[in-house]
């Protein structure tokens, strides 16, 4: 007996009437009668006695019903487990470092949620390097990062390129320049993202290669702290261009020859589920456009 036959049999036994059971299941009486006949032939059991328009369940019929009800309970638990697994795959865990979050987070919280309200988003904002570690350890489903070290365990899908910029107050005399050299940018007092951020590591490495000594007053993991320090004209900063929002009272001056790439990162060998694919395609299409 298959699951459908079991469900038919349980309903007929419940009503002890084929016609009423057929009405409940929105099928014809003849189709259900044939199904009961097939079950008797397949099992080799005499399951019913006909009494007028009703039926009585035989002793063998009751024994079979006991087994059928047990199997249907197991099947319901199985269906519930499958639904729970599917629901978990509609709950995406995303690592989104603070700079790239300034452009991607509004897209996710507004437009993507409207398009796909069935998908739950759990978003953490670690440093870029930590975001890669989280994908590698499968603590999150995917990450969006600026640049990424080449790890054999990770798959990188490119989003876009952004200039690395000197961040200054909007009313500073440097505002409006098309670009600035790294040597000139690092001659000013600076506040940078934490040392574990990929951007900070890259800037310090560029300075080392060019034998530059940047005047770093402070490292902070919080963009809001950096923005406030720059607004108060205590120090400048070096940030990816998309980490300097419009209308913030800050200006971005591209540093010559310095760019960061944006990537969406997933674990190699791990299945990409439908919800993840929708999210990845949505963000990549946004940046492609």
pLDDT at 226: 93
- Distance in angstroms (rounded) separating the CA atoms of residues 215 and 207: 11
Q: How many CB atoms lie within 10 A of CB 247?
A: 6
Shared domain for 48 and 187, answered yes or no, is no
b/e per residue, 9-39, with b = 16+ CB within 10 A?
bebbbeeebbebbbeeeeeeeeebeebbeeb
- Distance in angstroms (rounded) separating the CA atoms of residues 228 and 249: 10
User: Domain range holding 74?
Assistant: 3-88
Into how many domains does the chain fold? 2
Under a CB-based contact definition with an 8 Å cutoff, are residues 128 and 147 in contact? yes
Please return the burial class of 202, using the count of CB atoms within 10 Å of its CB with bins 0-12, 13-18 and 19+: middle
Q: Do the strands 142-146 and 91-95 form a parallel or antiparallel pair, or are they unpaired?
A: parallel
CA distances from 266 to 44, 63, 130, 139 (A): 55, 52, 14, 11
Shared domain for 73 and 106, answered yes or no, is no
Out of 71, 88, 105, a domain closes at 88
Q: What is the pLDDT of residues 29-84, one digit of tens each?
A: 999 999 999 999 999 999 999 887 788 999 999 999 999 999 999 888 887 676 66
- Distance in angstroms (rounded) separating the CA atoms of residues 37 and 31: 10
pLDDT at 102: 86
CA distances from 102 to 7, 99, 243 (A): 53, 6, 6
Q: Please indicate whether residue 263 or residue 81 has the higher confidence score (pLDDT).
A: 263
Shared domain for 19 and 103, answered yes or no, is no
Shared domain for 227 and 284, answered yes or no, is yes
pLDDT at 147: 82
pLDDT at 135: 93
Shared domain for 142 and 220, answered yes or no, is yes
Shared domain for 51 and 134, answered yes or no, is no
Q: Please indicate whether residue 82 or residue 126 has the higher confidence score (pLDDT).
A: 126
Average pLDDT over residues 217-241: 93
Q: How many CB atoms lie within 10 A of CB 211?
A: 7
What CATH number is attached to the domain comprising 51?
1.10.10.10
Shared domain for 63 and 158, answered yes or no, is no
């Amino acid at each position: 007996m298959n699951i459908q036959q079991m469900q038919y049999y349980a309903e007929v036994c419940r009503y002890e009437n084929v016609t009423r059971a057929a009405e409940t299941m929105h099928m014809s009486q003849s189709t259900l009668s044939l199904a009961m006949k097939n079950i008797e032939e397949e099992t080799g059991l005499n399951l019913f006695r006909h009494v007028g328009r009703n039926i009585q369940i035989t002793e063998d019929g009751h024994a079979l019903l006991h087994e059928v009800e047990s199997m249907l309970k197991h099947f319901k638990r199985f269906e519930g487990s499958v639904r729970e697994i599917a629901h978990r795959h509609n709950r995406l865990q995303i690592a989104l470092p603070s700079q790239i979050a300034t452009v991607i987070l509004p897209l996710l919280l507004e437009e993507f949620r409207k398009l796909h309200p069935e998908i739950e988003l759990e978003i953490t904002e670690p440093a870029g390097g930590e975001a890669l570690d989280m994908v590698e350890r499968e603590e999150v489903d995917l990450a969006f990062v600026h640049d990424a070290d080449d790890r054999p365990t990770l798959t990188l899908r490119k989003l876009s390129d952004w200039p690395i910029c000197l961040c200054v107050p909007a009313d500073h005399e440097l505002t409006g320049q098309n670009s600035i050299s790294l040597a000139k940018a690092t001659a000013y007092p600076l506040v940078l993202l934490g040392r574990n951020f990929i951007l900070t590591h890259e800037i310090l490495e560029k300075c080392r290669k060019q034998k530059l000594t940047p005047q770093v007053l402070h490292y902070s993991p919080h963009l809001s702290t950096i923005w406030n320090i720059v607004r108060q004209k205590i120090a400048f900063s070096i940030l990816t261009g998309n980490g300097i929002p419009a209308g913030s009272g800050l200006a971005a001056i591209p540093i010559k020859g310095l760019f960061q790439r944006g990537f969406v990162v997933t674990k190699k060998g791990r299945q990409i589920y439908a919800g993840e694919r929708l999210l990845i395609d949505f963000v990549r299409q946004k940046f492609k456009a």
